[in-house]
Amino acid sequence: MTYSVPDVPGESPAKSDLGEASNVWPMWEIFVRQTRGLAHVHVGSLHAADAETALQNARDVYTRRQEGVSLWAVPSVEIVASDPDETDSLFEVNTKPYRDATAYNIPDEVGHM
Amino acid sequence: MALQDQAEFDAVIAADDKIEPTDWMPDGYRKTLIRQIGQHAHSEIIGMQPEGNWISRAPTLHRKAILIAKVQDEGGHGLYLYSAAETLGVTRDQLVAALHAGSHKYSSIFNYPTLNWADIGTIGWLVDGAAITNQVMLSRSSYGPYSRAMVRICKEESFHQRQGYELLIRLCEGSSEQKAMSQDSIDRWWWPALMMFGPHDSDSTHSAESTAWKIKRVSNDDLRQQFVDATVPQADYLGLHIPDPDLVWNEERGHYDFGPIDWEEFWQVVKGNGPLNRERLDHKRAAWDDGAWVREAAVAHAEKQAAREFESRRTA
Ligand SMILES: [Fe+2]
Ligand SMILES: [Fe+2]
């Protein structure tokens, strides 16, 4: 429970209806490079009016404790995602074992390969 | 592969796997999460007020820096959580509007006043401590974005609790006035902290569904007991008295027994009749209104920049 609040007995739950969906500021996806030599990794999203403030907000929201050395901010609408319903055709599993190094038996006496 | 229907959803829940935003999910699951994550986010944001109240009066520069860092973290927690809620098809502005309209609630604990400096220690120790007990459980919650937000939050909460407890160690080592101030603080915060875990399991309306969906993985009463068991020895170490005459170690259960909670007070505060419900919301709304020009200016600036860029590309 803790940070959620129970319904008051007898109070109409219809009260918690939300108004119209809108956001004043667009959403950005934030990526942080933890240290030189590593790739930028997605850490979360935030709202900002433009690219410059997106980076400033990212600094405040996602890097308060030496989380990294470099930030990327990408407009969320620019992310192209694969169709979740086409997962099978994009990510076949186990149909091509010959692509895997472990599919080949090398005798022990050959040594590490 | 995204989940397509109830059967696939049920299988993922049964396997203790995570649900992700593009998956099919029952309407009730989505609604419960929007409500819960929304309330959680609002709690973090409103929770900045009781402590923010003492930033200008912190006794040393060191304590002031700690307090600013902690309050800033809570703002960050609110933002992570609003982002998690947005993956369910609502917007942050919608949720904030619901908070301002009073149709979305936040944790009742933040409707109590911070009357002395020791309260800053007690909040870190007990309120953040209760929050950690709950949030560690929520980091195993079935909804991926919620559980990921919790992992991040829990790391920071540990700092919150430790700085609070250490503040009280220093005070309790101090003068008799400082010790008395600490005792006064725990006297006021102990019961509201226990109420944070919510109604007894037998009176908890949403619990059964939330537990079946693995949003919630431990019951209110079990979490409360876990918190009491961990906290009593910590109070002993400080030499502070817990204001409960019925508090006693139960050898047989292997837990502390504790006295009855004043549910009348709990419901009064939930309904809006707590000491500071009105002030907290008024303050939040005023800050939102005062910041309107900043939000508008940021949008105007962004539009102007975009127009300029468009123009320079066109003429290049
Ligand atoms: Fe927090
Ligand atoms: Fe906290």
State the pLDDT at residue B90.
94
Q: How far apart are CA B165 and CA B193, in angstroms?
A: 15
Average pLDDT over residues A9-22: 63
Asked if A49 lies within 8 A of B302 by C-beta distance, the reply is yes
pLDDT band (50, 70, 90) for residue B315: confident
Percent residues over pLDDT 70 in chain B: 99
> Of the candidates B265, B301, B207, which has an alpha carbon nearest to the alpha carbon of residue A6?
B207
Return the ∠ at Cα B21 (arms to B4 and B2), rounded to 5°: 30
State the pLDDT at residue A18.
77
State the pLDDT at residue A11.
65
State the pLDDT at residue A85.
72
Residue A23 has pLDDT above 90, yes or no: no
What residues in chain A have their Cβ under 8 A from chain B's Cβ atoms? 1-8, 15-25, 27, 44-50, 53, 60-61, 64, 84-85, 87-88, 91
**Mean per-residue pLDDT over chain B, rounded:** 94
CB of A23 closer than 8 Å to CB of A47: yes
> Of the candidates B226, B6, B107, which has an alpha carbon nearest to the alpha carbon of residue A6?
B107
State the pLDDT at residue A2.
61
Highest mean pLDDT among A12-21, B210-219, B265-274: B265-274
Where along chain A do its domains lie? 27-110
The two tokens of residue B168 are: 């009280």
Q: Note the pLDDT tens digit of each residue in B65-104.
A: 999 999 999 999 999 999 999 999 999 999 999 999 999 9
Q: How far apart are CA B168 and CA B240, in angstroms?
A: 10
Q: How much distance in Å is there from the Cα of B275 to the middle of ligand 1? A: 22
Average pLDDT over residues B126-147: 93
State the pLDDT at residue A17.
64
| Cα of B186 to nearest chain A Cα, Å | 18
pLDDT band (50, 70, 90) for residue B313: confident
Nearest CA in chain A to B149: A44
Please report the DSSP string for chain B in residue order: ----SHHHHHHHHHTT--B-TTS---HHHHHHHHHHHHHHHHHHHHTHHHHHTTGGG-SSHHHHHHHHHHHHHHHHHHHHHHHHHHTTT--HHHHHHHHHHTSS---GGGGS---STHHHHHIIIIIHHHHHHHHHHHTT-SBHHHHHHHHHHHHHHHHHHHHHHHHHHHHHTS-HHHHHHHHHHHHHHHHHHHHTT-S-GGG-SSHHHHHHTTSS-S-HHHHHHHHHHHHHHHHHHHTPPPS-TT-EEETTTTEEE-----HHHHHHIIIIISSSHHHHHHHHHHHHHHTHHHHHHHHHHHHHHHHHHHHHHHH-
Average pLDDT over residues B99-117: 96
Q: How much distance in Å is there from the Cα of B77 to the middle of ligand 2? A: 8
By Cβ distance, the residue of A4, A61, A87 closest to B76 is A61
pLDDT band (50, 70, 90) for residue A12: low
Q: Note the pLDDT tens digit of each residue in B179-238.
A: 999 999 999 999 999 999 999 988 877 778 888 899 888 899 999 999 999 999 999 999
State the pLDDT at residue B107.
95
Q: How much distance in Å is there from the Cα of B310 to the middle of ligand 2? A: 44
CB of B119 closer than 8 Å to CB of B51: no
Q: Note the pLDDT tens digit of each residue in B10-61.
A: 999 999 999 999 899 999 999 999 999 999 999 999 999 999 999 999 999 9
Residue B247 has pLDDT above 70, yes or no: yes
Indicate the pairing of strand B255-257 with strand B248-250.
Answer: antiparallel
Instruction: Kindly indicate whether the domain formed by A27-110 is annotated with CATH number 3.10.20.520.
Output: yes
Q: Which residue has the tokens 């997605």?
A: A42
Q: How far apart are CA B122 and CA B188, in angstroms?
A: 10
Average pLDDT over residues B129-142: 92
Q: Alpha carbon B126 to chain centroid distance?
A: 12
Total-model pTM: 0.91
Q: Note the pLDDT tens digit of each residue in A59-102.
A: 999 999 988 999 999 999 999 988 777 777 777 767 788 888 99
Alpha helices in A65-108 (DSSP H): 87-90
The two tokens of residue A16 are: 């918690």
State the pLDDT at residue A91.
75
> Of the candidates A44, A41, A39, A29, which has an alpha carbon nearest to the alpha carbon of residue A80?
A29
Q: How far apart are CA B89 and CA A19, in angstroms?
A: 13
State the pLDDT at residue A14.
44
By Cβ distance, the residue of A3, A64, A87 closest to B134 is A3
Asked if B107 lies within 8 A of A2 by C-beta distance, the reply is yes
Residue B203: how many other CB atoms lie within 10 Å:
12
